[in-house]
């Protein structure tokens, strides 16, 4: 089983934290988004994942590949890479995977986190599309069903034809059929109204060819696409994983859980929480912090913070209230 993971986007809505680190590699309570996605599938799929194919942006450095290789190696998987030189839509991102589109696999966009029940039944369909009920489907691609089977895909419908939003997860029994569809779209320049190649159009091609499509659902769908959404998702995961959060050291401090303290992190003479994530190697001294994310190897000293984000290797001293600073910044 393969995972095909397009992640070439720049994550502009979570800047400055995505300026150095691609959004899917941002940590959420100790694990990157990519790690959480892989681990979810490892837990729920009926068979193991042995390969992951990451579609990266052209300016992603070797350190990104190294991090993804390490993630796969720890899970007994092979890592492969492709590059999307220019962002031209979701179908184009999959098209860039090229020869890797073979065999059985799942295409999953690393934009959101999700959860689902184990024991997913993938039998009886050529493609399984994961969906989530939404009140306003006009912002999403949707699946239109006839009983259990999907009969059409529609991108951002203006009329209420379905409330089942496609959430960017698709199981394909034979990835070769998807490769043929996206190759045809790019070769014939079949773009959508925005000038991009839509993956929903590729799947619609397969529907018209008679392939069988079914849906599956998620129990949770968590957005990480904006600063506010990332903070809300962090709070949700803190609440869910509240029994295994403290891995660093705490000295002469008060912790109002849920609070994540990563490996090698230190909290000294501080009052922390609730809803704070302090990632690995960070140090908090003489501070009062709540509802905030302190990314890896940052330092916060004698500060009072709420609803704040402090980037990797940043330093904040004597700063009150609310801030959002990127990697390596110094605020004092």
Where in the chain do CATH 3.90.550.10 domains reside? 2-227
pLDDT (0 to 100) of residue 229:
87
Q: Which residue has the tokens 């052209």?
A: 58
For every one of its 332 residues, what pLDDT tens digit does the chain have, with 9 covering 90 and above?
999 999 987 767 778 877 778 888 899 999 999 999 999 999 888 888 999 999 999 888 899 999 999 999 999 999 999 999 998 999 999 999 999 999 999 999 988 898 888 778 788 889 998 988 888 777 777 888 777 778 888 777 777 778 888 888 999 999 999 999 999 999 999 998 889 999 989 998 999 999 999 888 888 888 787 888 899 999 999 999 888 899 999 999 999 999 999 999 999 999 999 999 999 999 999 999 999 999 999 999 999 999 999 999 999 998 777 889 888 888 88
Alpha carbons 15 and 319: distance in angstroms, whole number:
20
What one-character-per-residue DSSP string does 30-71 give? TEEHHHHHHHHHHHHSSS---EEEEEE-TT--HHHHHHHHHH
Whether domain 242-331 has CATH 3.40.50.20: the reply is no
pLDDT (0 to 100) of residue 24:
87
Tell me whether the omega of the peptide bond preceding residue 258 falls within 30 degrees of 0, making it cis: yes
Assigned CATH class of 2-227: alpha beta
Q: Tell me the two tokens of residue 163.
A: 């409330």
pLDDT (0 to 100) of residue 11:
67
pLDDT (0 to 100) of residue 250:
96
Where in the chain do CATH 2.160.10.10 domains reside? 242-331
Largest CA distance in the chain: 66
pLDDT (0 to 100) of residue 169:
92
């Amino acid at each position: 089983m393969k995972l095909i993971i397009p992640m070439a986007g720049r994550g502009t809505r979570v800047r400055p934290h995505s300026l150095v680190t691609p959004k899917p590699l941002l940590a959420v309570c100790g694990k990157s988004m990519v790690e959480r996605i892989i681990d979810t599938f490892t837990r729920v799929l009926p068979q193991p994942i042995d390969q992951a194919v990451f579609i990266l942006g052209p300016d992603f450095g070797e350190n990104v590949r190294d991090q993804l290789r390490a993630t796969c190696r720890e899970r007994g998987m092979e890592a492969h890479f492709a590059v999307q030189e220019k962002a031209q839509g979701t179908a184009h991102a999959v098209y860039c995977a090229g020869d890797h589109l073979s065999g059985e696999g799942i295409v999953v966009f690393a934009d959101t986190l999700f959860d689902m029940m184990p024991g997913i039944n993938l039998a009886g369909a050529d493609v399984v599309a994961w969906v989530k009920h939404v009140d306003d489907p006009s912002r999403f691609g949707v699946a239109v069903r006839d009983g259990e089977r999907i009969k059409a895909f529609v991108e951002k419908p203006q009329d209420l034809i379905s409330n089942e939003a496609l959430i960017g997860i698709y199981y394909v029994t034979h990835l070769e059929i998807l490769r043929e569809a996206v190759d045809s779209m790019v070769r014939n320049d079949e773009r959508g109204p925005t000038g991009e190649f839509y993956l929903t159009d590729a799947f619609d091609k397969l529907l018209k060819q008679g392939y069988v499509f079914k849906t599956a659902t998620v129990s949770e769908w968590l957005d990480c696409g904006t600063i506010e959404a990332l903070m809300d998702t962090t709070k949700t995961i803190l609440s869910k994983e509240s029994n295994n959060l403290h891995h660093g050291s705490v000295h002469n401090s008060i912790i109002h859980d849920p609070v994540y303290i990563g490996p090698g992190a230190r909290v000294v003479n501080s009052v922390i929480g609730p809803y704070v994530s302090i990632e690995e190697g960070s140090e908090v001294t003489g501070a009062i912090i709540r509802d905030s994310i302190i990314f890896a190897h940052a330092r916060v000293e004698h500060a009072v913070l709420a609803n704040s984000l402090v980037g990797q290797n940043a330093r904040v001293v004597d700063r009150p209230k609310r801030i959002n600073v990127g990697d390596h910044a110094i605020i004092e």
